[in-house]
Chains A and B, each alone.
Chain A
Amino acid sequence: MSTSPAVPGPAAFLEQMMLIRAFEERSAASFAEGRSPGTCTCVGQEASAVGVVAALREDDLILTNHRSAGHLLARGADPGRLMAEIMGRSTGYCGGKSGTLHVSAKELGVILTSTIVGGELSLAPGVALSLSMKGSDAVVACFFGDGAACEGIFHEALNLAAVWKLPVLFVCENNEWQAFVHRRETMLTENIASRAAGYGIEGRTVDGNDAEAVFAAAAEAVERIRETKTPFLLETKTYRLRGHFEPDDQGYVDKDELATWRARDPIATLRSRLLSSGALTTGEAAAMDRRVAERLDAAFSFAAGSPWPSLDQLTTNVYA
């Protein structure tokens, strides 16, 4: 059994979130320059990603959705190989075959990015079944959106995981939007975590813009899962600050709603809190900015300078 992860300090969370934000902004810029396809960024949702992933052990496994860059980077993905994958280069995690929407990285325990909304929910119980049949006490973290919680497979996955006692941490990143439809139009309740009761499992809603709160809730949930061998539904309440995908000017979004959530930006809030409490000096903050920029410069030039896949890759890896 691997040891539990060390509790990351808030400054470490801040730097990880900054890296994710900067990565997503670069990837959006790269799209705008015509250098890569449009992505679904996780801008605004970084705290949910870093908080949950920090609560996982190295042998825990991850399945995620189309907004996966945050989860991958928080897990330690190399920004260069991730950018290369997005740009369709042979050096990407999947050799350029997945692009942004299906990235998996076995070496990081990331089994799946599903762009089929709910696809991650459909595979997660089976991955957890493998772990429990091997006698491991590792858990599977399955990230999905509030929109995915409207798919039929949400019900099937939670119910099966519950009756088979599978170690799945279901993480619903409730960001108020389901592409171009507001959550209020698709569900009558405020929270998705309340559905847990219907399956006889535990659920909890947490402020998804507070990395430390997310971490604490996720760590507790993971501990409960390992203890009780029962899945857990954790809901992180957050907000997608960029469009659904690139390009999307969010013209359909209520201005007050956007302003409210901009004021709650997880990175700006944590940074100013740490600066005003003295936990972070301006010099340290500036050093963080520099490190993040340097890593991304290196990542981007690695990706842009990487070769395209050879055309024989068109039909390889179809069958084992």
Chain B
Amino acid sequence: MRTITPYDAIGEALAEEMRRDATVLAFGEGIATKRHDLVAEFGAARVRNTPLAEGIIAGTAAGAAATGLRPVVDLLFAPFLTFSMEEIVNSAGKLRFLSGGQFSFPMVAMAMTGAGWGVGAQHNHNVEAWFVHSPGLKVVMPSTAADFKGLMKSSIRDDNPVLFFLDVALLHTPGEVPDGDHLVPLGKAAIRRPGSDVTLVSYAKTVHGCVAAAETLAAEGISAEVVDLRSLKPWDEEAVLASVRKTGRLVVVHEASRTCGVGAEIAATVAEEAFASLRTPIVRLAGPDAPAASSWVLEQAFVPQADAIAEAARGAVARTLSLATA
């Protein structure tokens, strides 16, 4: 076990996968400059800087993926994905289907997002749900250094296009990463803290808010289970449903705006599949339907914080009690 930042964990994942598979390559606007250790080991043909042109970066990844390579592209900040939308959504996501299965698109598109750097809405926009809603794509958004590495390695090995979102608030905070060939499967949630009274489902930075809230709640005698989705498509329905069937209460938490966010899908699925287990209405705690501001106080206010999560969980538990005594 070593303690490294998620940024370095991504670097290790890239290096290890490039070492084991000669078809893996990485390109983007400055990746060869920032990760010069990769250039030193693998050469300029496999680690490339690109022109400032997000459409063709993603399109080139798709074309290369269709014909035998496994590209990883760095698209910098998530809002820049709007310039790559055509290539990711219409080509990478659809052409396997439209070709009747003749081609596959093993590629990874990375993008940073989230509150933490005060960069405002044109650099900070949690757009993961757009891609969850698009067929043929997979979407991951890790919360720990170990998962950044393990999910990146699995994403590179996956035969489908994967959107890999990097929460900037987590990117440079060191965490433990297991030694060796550490793989985290796509589509598997992690239970960050077991509990029996209420389920907190989240991903990326708000997982840490959920864990902090669970600690506070424990001191009050409320036992919260924290489920870290890690993968948003496919997402681990089984883990979420099992937890809700146990606790009977669900609070879904994410930084992305509430309307049609990932939380809406989770809430709907739980209502469809585990309605009988619910002892209280599902609660969604999410960012507002507004662009993210730059100002530190506004940026932080956008994100569901531990206090608000604890309050929502308390509310859910209290509401059940009042229903029971009504």
Binding site for B on A (CB under 8 A): 61, 63, 92-98, 102, 104-106, 111-112, 114, 116, 118-119, 121-131, 133-134, 152-153, 155-157, 159-160, 163-164, 316-320
Contacts and interface: CB of A to CB of B under 8 A. Distances in A.
Nearest to A313: B100
Majority SS at the chain B contact face: mixed
B62 interface: yes
Contacts of A63: 63
Chain A to chain B: the 5 pairs with minimum beta-carbon distance, closest first: A126-B63, A122-B59, A123-B63, A320-B159, A156-B56
Contact of A129 (B63, B86, B136): B63
24 contacts: A94-B100, A95-B100, A98-B99, A98-B100, A104-B98, A104-B103, A111-B66, A112-B66, A116-B91, A121-B59, A122-B55, A123-B60, A126-B59, A126-B67, A131-B67, A156-B51, A160-B51, A160-B53, A160-B56, A317-B100, A318-B96, A319-B96, A320-B96, A320-B106
Given A119-B90, A153-B56, A130 B99 contact: no
Contacts of B100: 92-98, 317
Contacts of B135: 318
B236 interface: no
Given A126-B64, A156-B55, A156-B56, A104 B95 contact: yes
B48 interface: yes
Nearest to B105: A320
Contact of A106 (B45, B61, B102, B105): B102
Contacts of A104: 95, 98-99, 102-103
Nearest to A112: B95
B55 A317 contact: no
How large, as a class, is the contact surface on chain B?
Answer: 35 or more
Contacts of B86: 116, 118-119, 122, 153
Given A94-B100, A119-B91, A163-B51, A127 B66 contact: yes
Contacts of B96: 317-320
B100 to A, nearest CB: 4
A258 to B, nearest CB: 33
The residue in A63, A93, A105, A127 that gathers the most chain B C-beta atoms within 10 A of its C-beta is A127
Contacts of B65: 126
A47 B68 CA distance: 32
B25 A126 contact: no
B61 A126 contact: yes
Contact of A123 (B50, B53, B66, B160): B66
The residue in B55, B63, B71, B106 that gathers the most chain A C-beta atoms within 10 A of its C-beta is B63
